[in-house]
Structure 1
């Protein structure tokens, strides 16, 4: 199937499991969207507390480090609002509590579009199919429909002033069969800079940059773009 261009939405909430997921997944796209005037916010479900590679860093320091890195990376691509839910890295499941928390975030930000991780395992990209990613993707879809839009679901949210909100569309990262692309050639440097902000996760930054460039070249090839282009891919579907 021919991939279609993914035009900048009016407003976007990105929901991801760990700090750095959003930057590997769509920082080039976010940089394009914010430059076009799209309001973008991030909701990070965990603090990434089991991440890192340096055993000399106390485990207790990792959450604060990763929050700081994610906020810095967000600023690189024009995002000011980053919210952390504080779930335990590596232990995320699709609970009613997580669905309620994500529905609350959706009702608070009231986005046109939600971007989330794929709840479907991608056997061609096993790294994208971390159990936390798939759980957060499923919980995000549950929060989009029916939780955020149904005023009689989690009534305590409405009682707290968070009225029901219907998300118009969802875009999934790393879905095995993408439908849309964003040409990120002009924002590739911003994406790589955002990824580089996650220094606690990058034992070999240059190898990471090389990998990302190759990955985005594959995206451009799938989108039918030229040899000198880079693209991020998404599965996009209406939810209104």
Structure 2
């Protein structure tokens, strides 16, 4: 594909990033988030799980708190101060009204204009199967962006003081095989590498390669691969759904 990607919209102030696990955003779009926080934009992270089933050698009761700690440190590197967890069970997150309700509640609470999530489709570009957690959370985010604005869907949220928010203007899907928009990765790339490195416990189990070399190669390679469709500039790509 050689069609040029459009720049992401810039006329917004608040974003909410909702993904399944610790490290999803660091693999997907942390360089873009670093650039946005530099501009004074407010970004909040919400994670459906604590990633407690992600490391075979560490039992979930110990792994969950460790990965939460690494995620908070990782977010801080790119200027994100608020990280929340919904406590769905890692590996078996189910798409359904419960997940939609929890995400709609987060949207009503934080009132973002832009919502960010990760690839919700069955595969990564047709070459690797996506996980059920990514599929469930990404799909629920797309639906909850509408649910959050409808007072008759999940009326119990209003009773809890979370009033409807119909101000979501876009949902941006990172890691999509069908991107439409992109963000210059240059300013935030180094911090995105450091941010991914904060997940050192997970990375050291994932690969025998030097962790910094692994992170740099993966993130720089993805950003540079997108340059051909973004005027030669290394970029983070998104599939943008307008609302």
Tell me whether the two structures share a fold, i.e. TM-score over 0.5: yes
For residues 155 and 114 of structure 2, the distance between their equivalents in structure 1, rounded to whole angstroms, comes to 23
Whether 1:174 aligns to 2:178 is: no
Q: Which moved more, 1:118-127 or 1:11-20?
A: 118-127
1:19 Cα deviation after fit: 0.4
For residues 214 and 65 of structure 1, the distance between their equivalents in structure 2, rounded to whole angstroms, comes to 28
Q: Check the 8 A contact 1:18/1:44 in 2, yes or no.
A: yes
Aligned CA distance change for structure 1 residues 214 and 69 (closer, same or farther; 3 Å): same
**Structure 1 equivalent of residue 152 of structure 2:** 152
Whether 1:60 aligns to 2:61 is: yes
For residues 120 and 68 of structure 1, the distance between their equivalents in structure 2, rounded to whole angstroms, comes to 29
1:201 Cα deviation after fit: 1.1
**Structure 2 equivalent of residue 70 of structure 1:** 71
**Among 30, 45, 48, which residue is 2:48 paired with?**
45
**Among 220, 225, 237, which residue is 1:233 paired with?**
237
For residues 231 and 128 of structure 1, the distance between their equivalents in structure 2, rounded to whole angstroms, comes to 24
3-state SS of 1:186 partner: coil
For residues 81 and 127 of structure 1, the distance between their equivalents in structure 2, rounded to whole angstroms, comes to 32
Unaligned runs of 5+ in 1: none
For residues 130 and 13 of structure 2, the distance between their equivalents in structure 1, rounded to whole angstroms, comes to 28
1:235 Cα deviation after fit: 0.8
3-state SS of 1:221 partner: helix
**Structure 1 equivalent of residue 26 of structure 2:** 23
Query: Deviations along 1:81-120, whole A, 9 cap, x unmatched?
Result: 1000111111012121111111100000000010112222
Aligned residues: 233
RMSD: 1.6
3-state SS of 2:28 partner: helix
1:126 Cα deviation after fit: 5.4
Q: How does 1:186-225 map to 2 (within 5 A)?
A: 186-203=187-204, 204=209, 205=211, 206-225=213-232
Q: Which moved more, 1:230-239 or 1:189-198?
A: 230-239
Whether 1:163 aligns to 2:163 is: yes
Q: Check the 8 A contact 1:180/1:236 in 2, yes or no.
A: yes
Unaligned runs of 5+ in 2: none
3-state SS of 1:164 partner: coil
Aligned CA distance change for structure 1 residues 123 and 14 (closer, same or farther; 3 Å): closer
For residues 188 and 128 of structure 2, the distance between their equivalents in structure 1, rounded to whole angstroms, comes to 23
For residues 170 and 37 of structure 2, the distance between their equivalents in structure 1, rounded to whole angstroms, comes to 18
Q: Which moved more, 1:123-132 or 1:212-221?
A: 123-132
Query: TM-score if structure 2 supplies the norm length?
Result: 0.91
1:230 Cα deviation after fit: 2.2
**Structure 1 equivalent of residue 119 of structure 2:** 118
